[in-house]
Amino acid sequence: TPEKISDEEIIDFRKEHLGKSLSLSYSEPLHIVRGEGVYLIDSDGKKYIDTANNVNHVGHQHPKVVAAGQQQMAVLNTNTRYLHKEIINYAEALLKKLPKELSVLHFVNSGSEANELALRMAKTVTGQENMLAIEVGYHGNTNAVMDVSSYKFDGKGGFPQPANTHILPLPDIFRGKHCGKNAGTEYANYATRHIEHLRGMDKGIAGFIGESMISCGGQIVPPKNYFKKVYKTVREAGGICIADEVQTGFGRMGKTFWAFELFDVVPDIVTMGKPAGNGHPLAVVACTKEISEKFHTGMEFFNTFGGNPVSCAIGRTVLEVIEEENLQQNALETGAFLKSGLLQLQKESPIIGDVRGEGLFLGFELTDNNKNPLAEHAAYLSDRMKTLGVLMSTDGPDYNVLKIKPPVVFNKEHAQELIDKLRIVFGEDFMKAY
């Protein structure tokens, strides 16, 4: 490729030679060449605050994480069939962050692979096939995880809901089926109904998979007692409870290191990904000793890249940086500051129907006075914010939710800048007409 390649040339090449189903953000895509802390920098040198990327958790291109990868890459990278100390160092550091029940780790390379393995464990251990999952959940791009990702059952691309998957309604207390004070129990009761229905056909369940806060579903915070009840029902039916912490883990919640801890539950399996390697492909499955033993049927589990010394050095360093820079506490404090700013904006701009979330995992929803979703306004807002130098992402079943999940080095100044720029856009005519 020539020294300087134009945006048009990149777009044309992608169209011709990269998979047609890849997408680009924004109608005028960004050409990003560098990352630094909470910033992404484009080919013209323009800096954008990144409020959407929960992968580069401790900041884009964090020097300590970069150095850890570079150093280990220069020495050795190989698979787990040799003894190496880095896998032990990382495992020990990660286990310190997990409840003692979750004492066995498996290393893989992506959130999809982590969930794929978790599902295989649940199916192997129980000898069952049927899974419960949450509406609008997304768990990855491989066959088995697509089968439990109701986000993909929307008719686009004609991917149907498999017969072995049973979907629980999105536990949304703003615009969902149940919004009252009994919503947690009402939503959890769908698990009971599905299990009873299956029992009527002489079938059991392998388990339940759910994010502890539902991200693609639109930053949904389930009612406090929801998971306790679902887990109890699933376990009584012999199923395994899987918490997908791919988006929510590693201190982002502020109050807790994992989102499931906010709900006072301990899953049987926890899957982790995105932030684990700060952008390097690293993902993990944590499970109980009992599951790990039952999963060991005699067949080897081998993963060429999973658990390699470079990935483990990077993963360990990410955990160190979270501690050294007090990033969980930052998520708590900056998150609270930002949430109160958003609640103030909501008072000024009634188009903000709901503000929700914990720590630096926040969202707000754009609706009219009858709670109808305003997707075009969400798209307009995200485009205008881009022009103002802030990258935001929209999601939710009706594409009207703005998701805020920046690198956790996002501080109060960044939060104030975000609020100030949102205020500018909310003041524009387009945002007032609905």
Closest contact distance (angstroms) between CB of 1 and ligand PMP is 27
Edge to edge, the sheet with strand 393-395 lists 352-358, 361-366, 401-404, 393-395
Of the candidates 182, 191, 192, 193, the residue with the CA atom closest to the CA atom of residue 210? 191
Member of 135, 211, 354, 395 binding ligand PMP (CB under 6 A): 211
Residue number of the CB atom closest to ligand PMP: 111
Q: How many residues bind ligand PMP (CB under 6 A)?
A: 14
Binding mask 41-80 for ligand PMP (x = CB under 6 A): ----------------------------------------
Structural Rg of the chain based on CA atoms: 22
Closer residue to ligand PMP in complex, CB, 86/244: 244
Q: Does 279 bind ligand PMP (CB under 6 A)?
A: no
**In angstroms, what is the minimal distance from the CB of 259 to ligand PMP?**
11
Instruction: Say which residues have a Cβ less than 8 Å from residue 335's Cβ, sequence separation at least 6.
Output: 254, 357, 358, 359, 360, 361, 362
How far apart, in Å, are the Cα atoms of 334 and each of 39, 40, 90, 278? 17, 20, 28, 20
**Considering the complex, what minimum distance in angstroms separates the CB of residue 111 from ligand PMP?**
2
Residue 142 or 161 with smaller CB distance to ligand PMP: 142
Stretch that binds ligand PMP, among 14-22, 41-49, 132-140, 374-382 (CB under 6 A): 132-140
- Amino acid identity, position 367: T
Residue 335 in the binding site for ligand PMP (CB under 6 A): no
Q: Is 335 helix (H, G, I), strand (E, B) or coil?
A: helix
Q: How near is the Cβ of 63 to ligand PMP at its closest, in Å?
A: 24
Question: Residue 115 interacts with ligand PMP (CB under 6 A)?
Answer: yes
Terminal-residue alpha carbon distance, the chain: 47
Is the CB of 118 or the CB of 422 nearer to ligand PMP? Answer: 118
Of 95-114, binders to ligand PMP (CB under 6 A) are 110-112
Which token pair is 111? Answer: 């959130």
Does 150 contact ligand PMP by CB under 6 A? no
Cβ pair 288, 267 in contact under 8 A: no
* Other CB atoms within 10 A of residue 417 CB: 15
Q: Is 219 in the site for ligand PMP (CB under 6 A)?
A: no
Q: Does 244 bind ligand PMP (CB under 6 A)?
A: yes
Q: How far is CA 111 from CA 145, 281, 375, in A?
A: 10, 9, 28
Exposed/middle/buried for residue 3 (C-beta within 10 Å: 0-12, 13-18, 19+): exposed
**By CB under 6 A, residue 247 contacts ligand PMP:** yes
Where does this chain bind ligand PMP (CB under 6 A)?
A: 110-112, 115, 138-141, 211, 215, 244, 246-247, 273
